[in-house]
């Protein structure tokens, strides 16, 4: 790192922009370049990880903490393989003050740059930076593993078409040096072309073969077993499945373009998971026989089958110590043989939790400063907290007056809570008014 003062910062996407304030060292005159929608995306996600419905941000944040090794040891056979940990420390985000459009050219501190913002990758507000005079490309389109078209932590849909189009743009610029936030630099025009071509073909293969499978009548779970790289794509170093595993991607594509229904009418009206477990356990001869079968599967190194068997028992009694032990053993062995760090993290973390070695919360609430910065946003999110069994015949309007910012309200109508953006304009007045300060 240079000891010279930072004059400009460019955001490649919204996942890694929360330390800019440290780099700027408090200088308010630093030029912050980025996608024109980046500030809005950051604001919308202050309640948690990126989500199609931001109300569930706390749930996705909890899943993200699993994915990024929060509950795994640093050493030993159960350790994480990629040293990435999320913390909930104070953010140092600086908003974009110089937004750039797709194709826009600009000279930054004497360096001619061109910006491309049309296509997303794992983030909708991706920015690629091209230095035409030096033939250097800065991108987050290239990772050290295949394009992660689905994240186990949950996220908004990552459209493969966008990532593929962005990779084509990267390739067609014919860079001689490629610098990525998610992979080692690639040097040499021919080598850059080879790597980008193989990486592009990997993403295209997953999308096209998934769509081919859908046309062939395959459902989400069948697709995960059908789509796998041919050997030549496996040999591209950046296609190594060391972060995400491509078997998890086809179901997400199926859900996006078809939905959950696999066109098998027998699956249209299934019994509940608990009822299914109860009936299957009875058919298999009861708890002890199912547990024995799961142990036999473990001994045969059929770890996925062992996990599936014992999970029927777990649904019926999640506190059964023997069941928890066998399920933990199955998940641990699956983690050991997983190539992807994400898969390993989810499997191992759950195994450790079953053994009582860690506690994994279901939700991670947003930081207090995020709530204080936009209290009406989080008041709106309380709509979904209503319990229809307890609300009964309630029909009341609650108004909330905040000392900083606009007022808002909730109209509870039996099983539904309507968010009111302008209480003074609502068709009926409040039954209760609550005045709140930022500290509250």
pLDDT at 82: 73
Residue 303 has pLDDT above 90, yes or no: yes
Give residues with Cβ within 8 angstroms of 269, minimum separation 6: none
The pLDDT confidence band at residue 440, using thresholds 50, 70 and 90, is low
Whole-number average pLDDT of the chain = 92
- When pLDDT is cut at 50, 70 and 90, the band that residue 28 belongs to is confident
For the domain that residue 280 is a member of, what is the CATH number? 1.25.40.880
* Mean pLDDT confidence for 324-340: 98
265: in domain: no
Please check whether residues 31 and 117 belong to one and the same domain: yes
Within 10 Å of residue 188's Cβ, how many Cβ atoms? 13
Same domain, residue pair 277 and 253: no
Specify whether 325 is located in the same domain as 391: no
Is the predicted pLDDT of residue 50 greater than 80, yes or no?
Answer: no
> What pLDDT is attached to residue 1?
62
- How far apart (Å, rounded) are the C-alpha atoms in residues 153 and 60? 6
pLDDT for 47 beyond 60: no
Task: Report, in this order, helix, strand and coil percent for the chain, each rounded to 5.
Answer: 45, 15, 40
2 within some domain: no
Last residue of a domain, one of 337, 360, 390: 337
Give the pLDDT band of residue 48 (cuts 50, 70, 90): low
Contacts of 423 (CB under 8 A, 6+ apart): 397, 399, 407, 408, 409, 430
In a shared domain, residues 332 and 193: no
pLDDT of residue 182: 84
Residue 205's pLDDT band, with cuts at 50, 70 and 90, is very high
- Which CATH number belongs to the domain containing residue 248 in this structure? 3.60.15.30
Say if 398 falls within a structural domain: yes
Based on the fold, state whether residues 297 and 402 are members of the same structural domain. Answer: no
My answer on whether 244 and 288 are in the same domain is no
- Judge whether residue 399 has pLDDT over 70: yes
Distances (CA, A) of 348 to 126, 202, 311, 338, 345: 31, 28, 16, 10, 5
In a domain, 212, yes or no: yes
CATH number at residue 379: 3.30.1050.10
Question: Is 369 part of a structural domain of the chain?
Answer: no
pLDDT tens profile 52-109: 898 998 999 999 999 999 999 999 999 998 766 655 556 677 889 999 999 999 999 9
Note the pLDDT of residue 122.
Answer: 86
pLDDT in tens, 269-288: 999 999 999 999 999 999 99
- The answer to whether residue 360 sits within a structural domain is no
**Is residue 436 a contact partner of residue 401, using CB atoms and an 8 Å limit?**
yes
Question: How many domains are contained in the chain?
Answer: 3
The DSSP element (H or E) to which 433 belongs, if any, is strand 432-436
- Give yes or no: residues 148 and 237 share one domain: yes
What pLDDT is attached to residue 158? 92
- 139 lies in which domain range? 8-257
Q: Which residue is it, tokens 């080879």?
A: 194
- Phi first, then psi: give them for residue 31, nearest 5 degrees: -80, 125
Do residues 70 and 208 share a domain? yes
Name the pLDDT band for 361 (thresholds 50, 70, 90).
very high
CA distance 404 to 359: 37
Asked if residue 244 and residue 210 are part of one domain, the reply reads: yes
**Range of 117-126, 174-183, 234-243, 330-339 with top mean pLDDT:** 330-339
> Rounded to whole angstroms, what are the CA distances from 382 to 5, 46, 389?
44, 15, 16
């Amino acid at each position: 790192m240079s000891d010279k003062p930072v004059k400009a910062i460019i955001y490649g996407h919204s996942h890694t922009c929360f330390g800019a304030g440290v780099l700027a060292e408090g200088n308010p005159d630093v030029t912050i370049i980025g996608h024109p929608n980046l500030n809005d995306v950051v604001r919308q996600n202050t309640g948690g990880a990126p989500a199609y419905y931001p109300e569930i941000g706390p749930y996705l944040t909890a899943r993200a903490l699993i994915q990024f090794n929060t509950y795994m040891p640093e050493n030993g056979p159960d350790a994480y393989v990629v040293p990435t940990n999320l913390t909930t420390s104070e953010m140092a985000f600086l908003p974009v003050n110089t937004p750039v459009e797709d194709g826009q050219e600009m000279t930054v501190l004497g360096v001619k740059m061109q910006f491309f913002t049309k296509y997303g990758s794992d983030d909708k507000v991706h920015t690629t930076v091209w230095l035409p005079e030096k033939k250097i490309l800065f991108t987050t389109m290239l990772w050290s593993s295949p394009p992660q078209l689905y994240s186990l932590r949950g996220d908004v849909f990552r459209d493969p078409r966008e990532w593929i189009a962005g990779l084509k743009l990267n390739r067609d610029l014919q860079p001689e040096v490629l610098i990525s936030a998610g992979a080692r630099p690639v040097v040499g025009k021919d080598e850059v072309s080879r790597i980008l071509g193989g990486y592009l073909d990997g993403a295209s293969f997953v999308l096209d073969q998934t769509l081919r499978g859908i046309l062939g009548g395959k459902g989400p779970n069948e697709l995960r077993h059908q789509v796998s790289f041919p050997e030549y794509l496996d040999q591209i170093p950046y296609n190594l499945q060391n972060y995400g595993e491509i078997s998890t991607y086809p179901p997400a594509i199926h859900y996006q373009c078809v939905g959950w229904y696999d066109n098998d009418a027998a699956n249209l009206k299934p019994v509940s998971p608990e009822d299914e477990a109860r009936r299957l356990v009875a058919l298999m001869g009861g708890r002890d026989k199912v547990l024995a079968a799961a142990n036999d599967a473990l001994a045969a190194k059929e770890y996925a089958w062992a996990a599936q068997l014992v999970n029927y028992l777990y649904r019926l009694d999640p506190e059964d110590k023997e069941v928890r032990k066998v399920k933990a053993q199955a998940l641990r062995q699956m983690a050991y043989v997983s190539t992807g760090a994400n898969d390993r993290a989810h499997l191992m973390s759950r195994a450790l939790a079953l053994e009582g070695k860690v506690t994994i919360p279901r939700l991670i609430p947003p930081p207090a400063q995020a709530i204080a910065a936009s209290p009406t946003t989080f008041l709106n999110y309380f709509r979904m907290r209503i319990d229809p069994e307890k609300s009964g015949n309630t029909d009341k309007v609650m108004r909330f007056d905040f000392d900083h910012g606009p007022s808002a309200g909730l109209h509870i109508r039996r099983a539904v809570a309507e968010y009111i953006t302008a209480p003074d304009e609502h068709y009926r007045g409040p039954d209760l008014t609550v005045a709140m300060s930022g500290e509250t």
